[in-house]
Amino acid sequence: MVILSPDKFDRNTEKPFQCLFEKPPVYVLPPNLLPANQVNPIPHCNSVLLFEGGNDVNPMLYRQTAHKSTQKPDIDRDRHESQYWRMAQSVNAASIGVCRGAQFLCVMSGGELIQHVEGHHKDHAMELPGATKPILLYATSTHHQMMNPYVLEDNSWVSYGYAPANVGYGYKDCNNNKFKVWQKWKNWHDQEIVWFKKTKSLSIQGHPEYLKPNEPFVVYCKHLTYSLIGRQVSGQGIQTP
């Protein structure tokens, strides 16, 4: 089994996860960049798609107009990744998303994005839900947008990490108006790691590839990949049956 990455650049995002897989990642190129006589691999049920960082996701994908700070979208990339994700979903394949990739998977799973939030431009603590006493990891953070799974049904997603209160502030909508997310959505937390159950999508908003392999945040992300995505296959690690 391999990681399939629908991105034309090698961003080293796969480095923390690669030890869990049998082979190096395969890059899935947009059709206009495919060399002559070469075809992209077709996802199968044990494929894992890896969506990486880059430009902000096109707000049209989550039914919003662009905030003034939202980057100009890469429309070709959004189209290519959306089509490949749907192809993978048709065979029940899983996905991992990092940074932009996490936000992309949130959107494709039916969620939305907060188009601008201040406070997440540097590393910060991350709380682990469900712990009997607070457990903090330090997550890399370089994003000005935020996953918003709260527009979905509560039982359709699971939080595996969120920022402590007051890390994020100055939440703004597409009209550049400030609003209080914790008043609009009950029990709001700035979500950093989310598992979308129906689409089998693990969304990691930080960058584990920025850190050393033994850093707690990296170890935790690998553990989630093994326990959530590796559960669908047998053997040691994530391997082809």
| CA nearest neighbour of 126 among 134, 118, 114 | 134
- For 155-166, write each residue's pLDDT tens digit: 999 999 999 988
* 168 in Cβ contact with 119 (< 8 Å): yes
- For 198-207, write each residue's pLDDT tens digit: 999 999 999 9
Backbone angles phi, psi at 39, to 5 degrees: -125, 155
Packed helices 100-108 and 75-89: angle between N→C axes, nearest 10 degrees:
60
Residue type, 21: F
- CA 111-116-120 angle, to 5 degrees, is 95
pLDDT for the residue 236? 42
Residue with tokens 């990486």: 52
241 is a domain residue: no
pLDDT for the residue 21? 81
- How does DSSP assign 109-156, residue by residue? TT-EEESEEES-SS-EEEEPTT-SS--EEEE----SSEEEGGGS-GGG
CA 50, CA 88: separation in Å to the nearest integer? 11
91 is a domain residue: yes
Given a cut of 50, whether residue 237 has pLDDT beyond it is no
* 84 in Cβ contact with 77 (< 8 Å): no
pLDDT for the residue 2? 58
pLDDT for the residue 238? 46
237 is a domain residue: no
CA 150, CA 152: separation in Å to the nearest integer? 5
- Angstrom CA distances, 64 to 70, 111, 115, stand at 11, 12, 9
pLDDT for the residue 232? 53
Given a cut of 80, whether residue 102 has pLDDT beyond it is yes
Residue type, 183: Q
239 is a domain residue: no
238 is a domain residue: no
- For 36-69, write each residue's pLDDT tens digit: 888 888 898 888 999 999 999 999 999 999 999 9
- For 112-156, write each residue's pLDDT tens digit: 999 999 999 889 999 998 876 767 889 999 999 999 999 999 999
pLDDT band at 20 (very low <50, low <70, confident <90, very high): confident
Domain encompassing residue 137: 3-232
52 is a domain residue: yes
Given a cut of 60, whether residue 234 has pLDDT beyond it is no
**98 vs 45, higher pLDDT:** 98
pLDDT for the residue 235? 40
240 is a domain residue: no
- For 167-200, write each residue's pLDDT tens digit: 999 999 999 999 999 999 989 999 999 999 999 9
CATH number at residue 59: 3.40.50.880
Number of domain units in the chain:
1
217 is a domain residue: yes
Given a cut of 60, whether residue 18 has pLDDT beyond it is yes
CA 170, CA 80: separation in Å to the nearest integer? 33
- Tell me the percentage of the chain whose pLDDT exceeds 90: 68
